[in-house]
Structure 1
Amino acid sequence: MGTSTTAQRSPFLWEPTSERINQSHIKAFADYTGQALFPYERLHRWSVSHLADFWSAIWDYAGIIGEKGKRIFVPSSSMPDSEWFPEARLNFAENLLRGSLDRIVAYEADETGVRRKITLEELRESVVKAQEGLRRLGVQKGDCVAGVTTNDIEGLVALLATTSLGATWTSCSPDFGTKGIVDRIGQVKPKVLIATLSYQYKQKPFHIEDKIKQTTENLEGLSALVTLGGEASIDGVASLSWNDLCDNEAKEPTFQPVPFDHPLYILYTSGTTGLPKAIVHSVGGTLLQHVKEHQLHCDVQKNDVLFWYTNTAWMMYPWLVSGLASGAAILLYDGSPVKQDSLTHLWDIADEVGVTHFGTSPKYLDTLMKAGVELESSHSLDSLKSLLSCGAPLAPEQYDWIFQTIKQDLFLASISGGTEIIGCFVMGAPVLPLKRGEIACKALGMAVDVLDDRGASVYEEKGDLVCTQPFPSIPITFFGEGGEERYRKSYFSKRPGIWTHGDLAEQTIDQSFIIYGRADTTLNPGGVRIGTAEIYRVVEHIKEVKDSVVFGLPKDHDEEIVLCVVTEQLTEDLAKEIRQQIKAKASPRHVPKRIYQVEEIPHTINGKKVEGAAKTAALGNEVKNEASLSNPSSLRSFRKLLEKEFV
């Protein structure tokens, strides 16, 4: 059926055909477990009230390689102390390096286009060589290996070789500054650092040998540096090239079995107060969460091609890599998503390699939308089945634009979760119809709710996004001294026993979701909670506004909304139009009291706006972690903001 032909009468932008439903993983899983697929809410209630049955079935349905053990879930009075699969033994890399040896498992592309592709047999051979090289450097189960790598095949091989040995992988993107890298991986004291010495962005080469040397000098306990794209000599540290590491005769991989809760990844939040939190994720929890999300919620099938535009520092990088465990190929892309001469470069590549699931951000889609791009008329997109988006809420107008200009029969899913859970709380489902501006459902196995300040579940009302039952991808801990205390304080201090995620959200009476942004950046003028996303949804569709940030500043025991915009000229007419649009499309309470023009907006390396840093700088206070910003110089104009004229 695709898009409804009676769009005026139907509340849905898209509805799955019966054929798509019947061929979906989630339908097969429901049949496998003896549960009804519809109503979805019933299947979800079963998944969170029978946790052991549900997650055990995920292990079996996905064909996880390893020993499952008899005990699945051991509850505790405290959510972080619950145990998952306490008798299980498995290896992460083994579960990704399986299947038909001649199939293509990864494509590598950059700003020049598709560079190469690799079969499973070739990938396994590369992992074997790197594994043996790491073993000779003394890497073993329980050690940590860090990467400052681009999103390419060598980076993938390094990750898989590390985890095959039962070691833990952590990574940063090479465009971080030295302090940003050391603030992250310096906390976890890696035994080996694997680093690229150059990268390119916006068709400009960057040589970072000095940065890698400075980083290495600041890493306590480092025993070896492996370099990609050149050689570097570091005093007191064994240095070798990637080719040297892999120069051995090893033929067959060995996979070190580890417990379910063995550390797999260390990821970092990009907050702007203090050091980034180093979040430790488990082998089993990560693998089960990702195969569940890929198969049941994204309907990733064998031989599909999964893509997400990401760098190696963001949680979506390990999420993408896990696509191998579902039998899909993955597209690894390094570079800018748009080129000066081509806004549709990523879609050219998607067409060439047959991408089925295209993962991106609302910001990228907004760039295409404002430029009037119509992919339906310029690209075939025959293979494309699904468009996935995260990092910020997807605006209702973007839903319309996607179906009007990209593809009419398209499973669109805005998804929301976090680095802290290396997965999602709310997602799409390929068997559910889609309403504009909404996220379709709670993820299976995740007891998601929206609670008000009384702790009561609320509908059609903003509140805190929470999870009331344990789940396998809950973090093991925060790495470092006092990490356990910081971890529990971060998510369980507001409501003991309940994970409070920090997002402001609303659930509809149909049990779909709307995310309004981070609760800690919620605006509160006149005591009314307003999510910053509600304002961005309007402002970012005004053509003259290239970027924006909004925050609240104290005023007479209340709060005034301040909007800062990047535009060629902030005239009174433009300010008037901005206010009128916000008033009409949001509400009079959302209208900013002051609008300022600034040169640029502070963003994290992953492209998220940092309202807290903008506000802190405007108040004249120190921004504690400028190293987490991709453009710390942007704060200069905010430090002088209150001296400037506003409109």
Structure 2
Amino acid sequence: MDRSVLWSPEAGALRDSGLARFARNCGFDPADYEALHTWSIADPGAFWSRLWDFAGVKGDKGSVALHRDPAAPMTGAQFFPEARLNVAETLLAGADPACAVIECDETGARAEHSAAALRAEVARIAHGLRAAGVGPGDRVGAVLPNRLECLVTHLASLAIGAVWTSCSPDFGTTGILDRIGQVQPRVLFVQPRVRYGGKEIDLTARLGDVAAQIKGLETLVTVGEGTPESPVPVTTWESFGSPGPLEFEPRRFDDPCYILYTSGTTGAPKAIVHRSGGVLLQKLKEHMLHGDVRPGDRFLWYTNTAWMMYHWVVASMGCGATLVLYDGAPVLKEAGGLDCGQLWRAVERERLTHLGISPKYLSTLMEQGYRPGDAQDLGSLRWLMSAGSPVSPQQYDWMYDAVKADMGFASISGGTEIMGCFLLGSPLHPVRRGRLTVKGLGMAVNVFDERGAPVRGRPGELVCTEPFPSMPATFWGPDGDARYRKSYFAERPEIWTHGDHATLYPDGSAEIHGRSDCTLNPGGVRIGTADIYNVCAQFPELEDCIVFGRPVEGDEEIVLCVKIAGQQAAGPDLAQAIRRRLRVECSPRHVPSAIYCVSDIPMTVNGKRVENAARSVVSGRAVANLGSLANADCLAEYASLTKRVPL
């Protein structure tokens, strides 16, 4: 018996799952995923054309599926050059008629919306945008929480051919301007008062500052109470637009639909322009085939509206699933401690089939000793998913013990840049402890060593060697094409180098070790940060930690900073235990030269550790973009680490 296998699909998956049905549709045995995947990257035009039909994409795909440029096989590739489609049309066509969307929040309030009601609101806002002069290619911005209004602006903007871009209300003024300010939206939707973590937050002044500094802004639309002081006309959500028919503007496959932003931890956030047809096909593929999302399913991903996972989960509507929006904190502070049950009560109440979370959230539940499967009825849950950073093997164990034994789990890895995944789950494959399940269909994923040769079973650079339709169109702004190519193709011409340190295994599964730009290199040996995080996750004394390299003469040493849970004390015994376990479970090279106790860990607003910021401060260098951090003040402590005696 293979002890690494934590879950195996039932035999019926080979008959009923979307992936199995698609395989048969294409002439493949569902049990032979390797053959299906090989075909999908050997003949990408045929694969994506079949997917278009299988997914029921609305529009005309034309007679050409892929035009290849021999001189630029990736950057010059063009999918469906004759196609005409509209992303919103396909998503709304698939929406569940009786219950397209459910809204719920941290107070326990909820509301249901039929597909007809959703379409009527989208039509009203689309009319308002057209009346405001917004046309195809113009930008529409949103600084809104994860509620119906944000979804409506999203779909209405796409319906008229505009480009939608968003920030979450938890971004500061600088963070919003560094992102949305780049692309100069003509209309900006904002909510001046929001609730998070049991607190009412007034953003009126902040949003007024934003409106005053965005060039080209013509209209500010407010949702709910509060009116920012604005140099541009302000109108309310209720008075914006008018009832009428919903009309969809046909768009070319490569016309832009979204602009998303990189985290901005190594400089100003890059504004990534996404292609309409590319992101639609990619997301439908990942939901229908890899996530086995079916009509009647219910899908909630805990996310803010700036993260790509928001855009990603919205596409589940196109598969016939009910989209469940959650607004608020996933864990609430109470007099007696933390309430960890918010999302799990939603699983029980809404009969969710799919729930998406993050490794950081899992760590919090583990630290609190919370067991969702004991507290709630999770019988409806078929799939649990995670993104944002690697999931540790210990977290796999915990999920199958404390959540549910008979569910699939998918750790997915891709990025904002591709609006999708290179590695993700499968309803036809077992879940292996600490592993990502399969390479995505249509994604020619490989791992190259320092020679540029493909390797299996040992770490290297994650690459993609064949074109795929959700590659970005460009970066917004001057020299956008050049900056885009420099980011992903400079190291290996016409081969996408993603920036992840990874291992592919002979069985097709994979492991992500961390970002390549954060890879540790003591003594010239490359070490992924995830290996160290996985060991540290085994210590209940640690609430969180961060690891980075500190330059020393002619080399680099590993520094580990730990945040202690609760009122526990940190001392040499804990540091020694961490070092001992790293030496045994990883290697002597993984053992930190210094371990420090800190009060907080630098994070982006999306909850990702920012190793580069900590490393820069400790090394005496300026941090490129403090506005991307949710808690930049904590870096002051890191500036003085070298003067302290480590544990």
Deviations for 1:46-100, whole angstroms, at most 9, x for unmatched residues? 1000111100001000010001100010012321221010000011111111147
- Asked if structure 2 preserves the Cα contact closer than 8 Å seen for 1:370 and 1:541, the reply is no
Deviation, 1:569, is 2.8
Is residue 535 from structure 1 mapped to residue 528 from structure 2 by the alignment? no
Deviation, 1:556, is 2.3
Give the structure 2 partner of residue 244 of structure 1.
239
Q: How does the TM-score come out when normalised to structure 1?
A: 0.97
Is residue 458 from structure 1 mapped to residue 455 from structure 2 by the alignment? yes
CA distance in 2, matches of 1:11, 1:463: 23
CA distance in 2, matches of 1:437, 1:344: 25
- Asked if structure 2 preserves the Cα contact closer than 8 Å seen for 1:305 and 1:356, the reply is yes
Deviation, 1:38, is 2.5
Deviations for 1:454-501, whole angstroms, at most 9, x for unmatched residues? 110001111000000000000000000111111000000000010000
Deviations for 1:352-388, whole angstroms, at most 9, x for unmatched residues? 0111111011111111122222222221111100011
Deviation, 1:101, is 6.6
**From 396, 401, 424, the counterpart of 2:398:** 401
Is residue 271 from structure 1 mapped to residue 264 from structure 2 by the alignment? yes
What pairs with 1:139-178 in structure 2 (closer than 5 Å)? 139-178=134-173
Amino acid at match of 1:44: H
Question: 1:99/1:506 Cα in 2 relative to 1: closer, same or farther (>3 Å)?
Answer: closer
Deviations for 1:531-566, whole angstroms, at most 9, x for unmatched residues? 000000011221111111000111121111000011
**From 270, 283, 286, the counterpart of 2:279:** 286
Deviation, 1:231, is 4.6
Amino acid at match of 1:581: R
Deviation, 1:440, is 1.1
SS at match of 1:368: helix
Amino acid at match of 1:443: G
Question: 1:67/1:22 Cα in 2 relative to 1: closer, same or farther (>3 Å)?
Answer: same
Give the structure 2 partner of residue 375 of structure 1.
372
Give the structure 2 partner of residue 551 of structure 1.
548
5+ long unaligned stretches in structure 1: 1-7
Is residue 306 from structure 1 mapped to residue 303 from structure 2 by the alignment? no
After superposing the two structures, state which structure 1 stretch, 474-483 or 27-36, moved more: 27-36
CA distance in 2, matches of 1:557, 1:68: 56
Give the structure 2 partner of residue 354 of structure 1.
351
Give the structure 1 partner of residue 631 of structure 2.
631
Deviations for 1:223-259, whole angstroms, at most 9, x for unmatched residues? 110011135254541210111104x2x2320011110
Deviation, 1:11, is 4.2
CA distance in 2, matches of 1:234, 1:403: 51
- Asked if structure 1 preserves the Cα contact closer than 8 Å seen for 2:207 and 2:228, the reply is no
SS at match of 2:365: helix
Is residue 125 from structure 1 mapped to residue 117 from structure 2 by the alignment? no
**From 394, 412, 434, the counterpart of 1:437:** 434
Deviations for 1:378-424, whole angstroms, at most 9, x for unmatched residues? 21111100011111111111111111121111111111000000100
Is residue 571 from structure 1 mapped to residue 564 from structure 2 by the alignment? no
Question: 1:102/1:60 Cα in 2 relative to 1: closer, same or farther (>3 Å)?
Answer: closer
CA distance in 1, matches of 2:512, 2:606: 19
Amino acid at match of 1:572: P
Give the structure 2 partner of residue 84 of structure 1.
79
SS at match of 1:420: coil
CA distance in 1, matches of 2:558, 2:255: 46
RMSD: 1.2
Amino acid at match of 2:332: K
Is residue 14 from structure 1 mapped to residue 7 from structure 2 by the alignment? yes
What pairs with 1:463-502 in structure 2 (closer than 5 Å)? 463-502=460-499
Deviation, 1:340, is 2.0
Is residue 213 from structure 1 mapped to residue 208 from structure 2 by the alignment? yes
Give the structure 2 partner of residue 601 of structure 1.
601
CA distance in 2, matches of 1:99, 1:538: 43
- Asked if structure 1 preserves the Cα contact closer than 8 Å seen for 2:141 and 2:187, the reply is yes
SS at match of 1:645: coil
Is residue 183 from structure 1 mapped to residue 178 from structure 2 by the alignment? yes
Deviations for 1:112-155, whole angstroms, at most 9, x for unmatched residues? 12421111111011111111111111111111000001010010
SS at match of 2:14: helix
**From 43, 48, 58, the counterpart of 2:41:** 48
Give the structure 1 partner of residue 644 of structure 2.
644
Is residue 136 from structure 1 mapped to residue 103 from structure 2 by the alignment? no
Is residue 69 from structure 1 mapped to residue 66 from structure 2 by the alignment? no
SS at match of 1:439: coil
- Asked if structure 2 preserves the Cα contact closer than 8 Å seen for 1:113 and 1:349, the reply is no
Give the structure 2 partner of residue 34 of structure 1.
27
CA distance in 1, matches of 2:267, 2:363: 32
SS at match of 1:296: helix
Deviating runs (4+, > 4 A) in structure 1? 8-11
CA distance in 2, matches of 1:363, 1:169: 28
Give the structure 1 partner of residue 508 of structure 2.
511
Q: How does the TM-score come out when normalised to structure 2?
A: 0.97
Identity %: 47
Deviation, 1:36, is 2.1
SS at match of 1:546: strand
Amino acid at match of 2:421: C
- Asked if structure 2 preserves the Cα contact closer than 8 Å seen for 1:231 and 1:241, the reply is no
SS at match of 2:394: helix
Deviation, 1:621, is 1.4
- Asked if structure 1 preserves the Cα contact closer than 8 Å seen for 2:205 and 2:228, the reply is no
CA distance in 2, matches of 1:180, 1:218: 13
Give the structure 2 partner of residue 4 of structure 1.
none
SS at match of 1:578: helix
- Asked if structure 2 preserves the Cα contact closer than 8 Å seen for 1:144 and 1:191, the reply is yes
CA distance in 2, matches of 1:344, 1:234: 39
CA distance in 1, matches of 2:40, 2:146: 35
CA distance in 1, matches of 2:535, 2:193: 39
Give the structure 2 partner of residue 3 of structure 1.
none
Give the structure 2 partner of residue 614 of structure 1.
614
Deviations for 1:293-329, whole angstroms, at most 9, x for unmatched residues? 0011000001101111100110100001111111111
SS at match of 1:13: strand
Is residue 228 from structure 1 mapped to residue 228 from structure 2 by the alignment? no
Question: 1:539/1:100 Cα in 2 relative to 1: closer, same or farther (>3 Å)?
Answer: closer
- Asked if structure 1 preserves the Cα contact closer than 8 Å seen for 2:141 and 2:189, the reply is yes
CA distance in 2, matches of 1:143, 1:287: 19
CA distance in 1, matches of 2:112, 2:152: 13
